[in-house]
Structure 1
Amino acid sequence: MLVIFDCDGVLVDSEIIASRVTARLLGEAGMEITPDEVSLRFAGLTGDQIFSEAEAELGKSLPDTIRARSESELDNALETELQMVPGAHEMLDRLDAARCICSNSTSERLEMELRRTELYDRFRPYIYSAVEVRQHRQKPAPDVFLHAAEEFDVEPADVLVIEDSVHGVSGAVAAGMRVIGFTGASHTWPGHAEALMDAGATTVVNRLRDVPATVEALADWSLV
């Protein structure tokens, strides 16, 4: 059994920070949107994916300065504000399974986030960035999940994925894996759990401390 974790919004409470930065930049570009709306619509997507969707909605290209500032402003905010999702270390202490991270973020950002929250040594070197494996396709493409399964030499049916976004759930399901949806970070919204279930999650938890028991139950279920 392999357990794959998304990072942003599952292990580190970064999505709400990204939503605030994105909402501010999109507002400068003429798209009025709140951080909560950004979380609802775009959680799990990269900045480039979000800005491309915003351009389609606005019917115009965003100023180059907006895109250029987005990564640096987000990095600055993460370096000063980022916190671990409560219970991450305790959950990992109790999880008796192989584990790794599959994320849309770059390796550089993942290392920064995980080092800041003292989680880096709990996963390295098994930290995979979708933009750096296979065809470099990001979630909701299944590529990064399939890459991890190959690295651990396990079948997709023997993998459980912990995801907080519809896009991540969709990618894991497309890879033939089961998903535990997670709604315990600060960017959660009313209907979040239902959206994850609709995308194909097998179940949803809102506390990391519930992950080990849920993994154990689903592992036993897979053997029935």
Structure 2
Amino acid sequence: MKLYKELNIDLNKKNIISVVGGGGKTTSIKVLSKELKDEGKRVLVATSTGIAIPKRDDYDNLFIGLLPNDFDPMKGSITYYAERTDDIKLKTQNISLIDEIIERKVFDVILIEADGSKGLPIKAPATHEPVISKYTTMTIGVVGLDSIGTIIDDKNVHRSELFRKLVGEEVKVIDSAAIFKLVQDENGLFKNSKGKRVLLLNKADNEFKIQQGRNIRESLKKSGTKILIADIRTNTYF
């Protein structure tokens, strides 16, 4: 199975894909970038917030600061770009830098990590989040199914206070109904989204989580959002 096929990505078109939420954004981007490289595509991976510094075998080119004006990526290559870096992450604060690269039209696919979750499986966005490029053709919202059954606190949820406001102060433990509210609320998972919406319910690694994912998919079947239940690390899709 291929993630890009499950997402119905048209390889004959330019794709600008922004990935938001928590519970597997970076892993999903890494899987997608390698699949698309294998298809001969010129792939750019960027961030409008921060993304973990990739391992050397995850990319062919890496640029910090500016992408050279004369840069011409090879077919079947992965290029990472960021405004700056520290010891842990590549970071970009100015989305216009990414938009300028998009406007050059030298890449076939641009994958943007457009949100931060501090490694937690689920989150609610703050006022300044997520940071979505105006050219985005698909927004993928990621939720880790391992969040189900956990208490809504800072150990399990990024921006837990905002999350409680979205799903209801009376809700203490995350369930499929809470995720439904997070997805549907205009200030929830798909806040600021552009293009086609895809909900990726990740970490479906046992029967309980798979069934919870199916419950969520059933409740959202009239929403117009494509819903994919998966365990990205094991390349398993339901």
| TM-score band, normalised by shorter chain | 0.3 to 0.5
Q: TM-score, normalised by structure 2?
A: 0.33
Q: Which structure has more helix as a fraction of its residues?
A: 1
